[in-house]
Amino acid sequence: MNTLRSAEWYEGADRNAYIHRAWMRRGLPDDALDSTKPQIAIANTASDLTPCNMHLNEVAESVKQGIWAAGGVPYNLPVVSLGETQVKPTAMLWRNMAAMAMEEMFRANPIDGLVLLGGCDKTIPALLMAAASVNLPAVVVPGGPMLTGHFRGEALGCGTDVWRLSEEVRAGTITNGQFMESEQATIRSKGHCNTMGTASTMAVVAEALGMTIPGFAGTPAPDARLLSLSHDTGRLIVDMVAHGRRPSDIMTRDSFLNAIVAVAAVGGSTNSVVHLLAIAGRLGIDLTLDDFDAAGAGVPVMANLQPSGAFLMDDLYRAGGVLALLSQVKDLLHPEPITVTGRPLVDYLVDQPVYDATVILPRDAPLMEDAGIAVLRGNLAPRGAIVKPAAATPALLQHVGPALVFDSIEDMRARIDDPDLDVTADSVLVLRGCGPRGYPGMPEVGNMPLPRKLLEAGVRDMVRISDARMSGTAYGTVILHVAPEAAAGGPLAFVRTGDVITVDLANRSLSMNVSDEELASRSQSAASEAAYATPARGWAKLYVDHVMQADTGADLDFLVGASGDKVSRESH
């Protein structure tokens, strides 16, 4: 075994070592702080205000048992938790704060290895960003999706069916009372969203990056096998410390390319783009938007899951799970990257049968061909924008129409249902002021509701463009993450209602029929520039002053790159 990092705290006969040991005794076995015992932190995002992660304290107990069984010493380390459905104005405002706080606590404490417990959307990305920055041996335990709830005999996809049913209320096809009645049936059990939303996508990403025990992602939260795998993870981290197996050994550039393939194959969330870019940035890996287009090109969507398809996460699990699905695209994966076990991911993609071919579709009959997340560029998005073809209306991915511009989410909400709104099904809804700096925090508002009068006329999708994000559970022809954002002086700030916008997926183009000279003139006109309030203090001010754009992951500029695990000074 390598010399343990924790020995810097606990080994020796001086006053400092005495203090470190004495204050930690508190009933531990006499040899618990010996230099041969790996000290393992369980970075736990459990919180009663993060409903999808409420059960992680129970999971942590199984992890602890595994650590003890393998000869390590476990410690529960509560870390910042972000509940996607609860925090205002948006959980994304605090992803970087959570990652920074986690990193500092991982470095500051006498820890040799980390077990990362996450579930809800931002928790796994923040944990992986922190683990990448401190680069201690680490492994992810994904909290798992909830079981499927039913309403009036139909399965409900949490998130996806909220968007769908709320639009049907606005269209007048169901009553608000019926909508409210479905609330009791939506959340059936512990766990995160049961669609292929961001939480499920990031569990798949963690597995494709090699950061989970292979086969863990997608295990339902109430399933007893989740606790068994958590116990196995506790045992594994002790072995990882012994062999010095670190995130930088596992998450290589080829691992990230594998993760992009996995996201495409499952029809994963567009949020995976900003998270993968941010994690890669912490490792010093040069990952760009072009890699998403290149690695995802030609990858079919074979997971018939909401929001792109029909089924839900517990259906995927019974059909064979993530490994069975990835085995269908094994030839598209780089074979060299290892997992937390030390063996390559592709080693686990042999003899992985599909038990239900209506859920995991055959390679030659996928849900959609060539449906990886696409990157669009043009004079409206010089540094790129993204779209998820699997969730879009195919006919709208080649579209020309006049812009209808909203300067903020509040502006949109105030006008969208105005019966006199000058809008048709061909209009392109444009929302700005919702990027990383402009909101601040880049909220999930890109999937704007459709104008009520069009819903009542039977319209169910339109082209929508913004510098915001979209929930992974959402759907529609929604173009997101426009960079630079409006608040950073991007061309989105100078679009005017009536400008003709062209979306051309085949040529990866997003443009408006405005000349460079006219754009320059608009940008120099003070009257055309939207005013974005700058926070006066606290985290929001630090965030706005230092956040980067979506095309580089929306991390803070001073957090790019790793600082390692060294602490050079002793305080006692």
CB under 8 Å to 568, separation ≥6 — which residues? Answer: none
- Look at residue 529 and tell me whether its pLDDT is greater than 50: no
- Look at residue 254 and tell me whether its pLDDT is greater than 80: yes
Q: Name 512's bridge partners.
A: 501
pLDDT at 528: 42
pLDDT at 531: 62
Q: What is the DSSP string of 427-467?
A: -EEEE-S-STTTTTS--B--SPPPPHHHHHTT-----EEES
Give the mean pLDDT of the chain. Answer: 95
Region 339-350: what's the mean pLDDT? 98
DSSP 481: -
Amino acid letter, 155: A
CB under 8 Å to 225, separation ≥6 — which residues? Answer: 219
Q: Compute the C-alpha angle 531/377/513, nearest 5°.
A: 70
pLDDT at 475: 87
- Look at residue 188 and tell me whether its pLDDT is greater than 60: yes
CB under 8 Å to 384, separation ≥6 — which residues? Answer: 289, 375, 376, 377, 481, 483, 551
pLDDT digits (tens, 9 = 90+) for 109-162: 999 999 999 999 999 999 999 999 999 999 999 999 999 999 888 899 988 888
> Against a cut of 0.85, is the pTM above it?
yes
Round to whole Å and give the CA distance between 118 and 140.
Answer: 7
Length of the chain: 572
pLDDT at 239: 98
Round to whole Å and give the CA distance between 209 and 207.
Answer: 5
CB under 8 Å to 370, separation ≥6 — which residues? Answer: 297, 298, 299, 300, 389
Round to whole Å and give the CA distance between 364 and 402.
Answer: 38
Q: Compute the C-alpha angle 282/122/88, nearest 5°.
A: 125
Count the helices and strands in the chain (H runs, E runs): 19, 14
pLDDT digits (tens, 9 = 90+) for 543-563: 999 999 999 999 999 999 989
pLDDT digits (tens, 9 = 90+) for 305-330: 999 899 999 999 999 999 999 999 99
- Look at residue 540 and tell me whether its pLDDT is greater than 50: yes
pLDDT at 160: 85
What confidence tier does 539 reach under pLDDT thresholds 50, 70, 90?
very high
With b for 16 or more beta-carbon neighbours within 10 A and e for fewer, the 395-429 pattern comes to: ebbebebbbbbbebbeebeeebeeeeeebebebbb
pLDDT digits (tens, 9 = 90+) for 22-65: 999 999 999 999 989 999 999 999 999 999 999 999 999 999 99
Neighbours of 501 (CB within 10 A): 23
136, 262, 399, 522 from 4: Cα distances, Å? 11, 35, 59, 60
Q: What is the DSSP string of 65-95?
A: HHHHHTT-EEEEEE-----TTTSSS-GGGGH
Q: Name 156's bridge partners.
A: 149
pLDDT at 572: 76
In a 3-state reduction of DSSP, which class is residue 220?
A: coil
Residue ranges of domains in the chain, CATH in brackets: 38-148+188-349 (no CATH), 149-186 (no CATH), 374-533 (3.50.30.80)
As a whole-number percent, the residues of the chain with pLDDT over 70 amount to 98
pLDDT at 530: 55
Round to whole Å and give the CA distance between 341 and 211.
Answer: 9
Structure tokens at 98: 């959570």
